[in-house]
Amino acid sequence: MPPKNILLLIADDLGREQLGCYGCPDVKTPNIDALAASGTRFDHAFTSTASCSGSRTVIYTGLHTHENGCYGLHHGRNGFQTFTNVETAPDIFNRLGYRTGILGKVHVGAPELYPWHVREESETRNVALIADRAETFFQESNKADTSFFLTVGFVDPHRQLQTRGGFGNVDHNHDARLEDRIYASDEVTVPAYLSDIPEVRHELAEYYRAINRLDQGVGRILAALDRVGLADDTMVLFMSDNGPPFINSKTTLYEAGIRLPFIVRAPGLVTPGGCVSNNLVSYIDILPSMLDWAGHPGLPAVDGRLHRRGRSFLPILDCEVDNPAWSHVFGSHTFHEITNYWPTRFMRNRRYKYHRNVCWKLNFPFSMDLYASLSFEGMRNSGTDTSPAMIGPRSLKSYICRPAEELFDLDNDPLELHNLAGEAEHATVLKDMRNALEAWQLETDDLWLWRDDAPVVRYISSNYAREGLSIPDRFDFDPERPATTGFPSYPLFPSTSKP
């Protein structure tokens, strides 16, 4: 039986609107486009959270961030990491006899929970060097006659944190085998969620330059896989961890932050010429799909560890028809940096998007790379005495100050600008999606399902209700009317009506 190899390619902060195969007319991504043409390009793929470490743990565990423990970034003083009772992809594939490895960005922990056989962690943007290391890994695996699971964590096109407006294009593009492509500001397309100002155009031009380098890295790795003779036995998955590093995208659960490029090439499962899928898939589905490809879809959890939650998308890889079973996704965001606390949850179906902003009275926070960006500085200074500062079509004030609930009709409002939560004609949609989200929060033991600023999960799991404690059925504690009387009590088991 031929080996069932897996090659997982993760870009850092790459938006779907910045790839040719997703319709970008400007930046050239021939290698990623060719991969899409030979596999399945998902048009509605969603990460659970728009933050680097959190998204990666969702990929590696098949669990949402509030389940796997990585509530925010895993580095420095942030300290978020996967719970010890959670299964991870490298551990599972090690037990299956695979040779596992990771090259480049890791950004998850603790290390003992992610025991790759080969771990070459690096912040280099020299994608030619990374491709060399990948080819060595392929050759060694081939020589050992062992199936492999290799992850490549690209640093591109993340911002270079030591500079403002930089994307690693000056100090890191030093390999003569790479072709640098410099874009002028008038060559870029400004996404609709950003303002068309010089600062935004300047940063997008630098962003495009980093994406060009990323694309060359993808091409070199795929060429190496072909040279070693393993392309026909290897499932290739290409994705981004979250959306572009700009306001209105990264760290938010708006579409630009979580609806991402996702391409899967699984030899033998997609007809020649590839296809485009409109089914809604979540990043929690990636680990179950890789196990399905490996021939172990029903692999049980061991030692009482928490089991992955997603499901395999292999049965719909060659399906261009909308499948009703793949019609909605959920997600959760709690932190980015440890100082960026703003817990929110979302549900998204084919038409509507519902946000539950748990701590909505807090200002929406900025990650430091976005706060320091030239583009945000330009947008925050765009206001006048008579007109507000704007971020694209959204006012800066409405970006910072959000309500407890948001409901958007994405067919008519793809930028999520017009909140329908208070409109009578959408009351049924709002109620159904709220109930479905809360049922999902209960199912996933989400401590951020709150009523009266108290965690419902803790309330249900305790004896408090049986001993007479009643939680008012309201989102927030009201210091002006603190009494529990006069409000309906939150039901012990809320409605689980279907979305």
Residues acting as catalytic residues: 52
Contacts of 305 (CB under 8 A, 6+ apart): 85, 86, 87
Q: Outline where 106-197 has alpha helix (H).
A: 127-143
CB 143 within 8 A of CB 115: no
* Dihedral sign computed on CA atoms, order 344, 425, 471, 452: positive
Name the phi and psi angles at 483, rounded to 5: -65, 145
> The tokens 């030239």 sit on which residue?
374
Tokens describing residue 27: 């930046």
Say what the alpha-carbon torsion angle 283, 286, 289, 295 is, to the nearest 10 degrees: -160
CA-atom Rg of the chain in angstroms: 23
How far is residue 33 from each of residues 13, 29, 37, 273, 282, measured CA to CA in Å?
A: 18, 6, 6, 12, 22
Q: Is 62 left (phi over 0), alpha (psi -120 to 50) or beta?
A: left
- In what helix (H) or strand (E) does residue 397 lie, and over which residues does it extend? helix 396-400
CB 441 within 8 A of CB 417: no
Contacts of 325 (CB under 8 A, 6+ apart): none
Q: Provide the 10 A C-beta neighbour count for residue 272.
A: 6
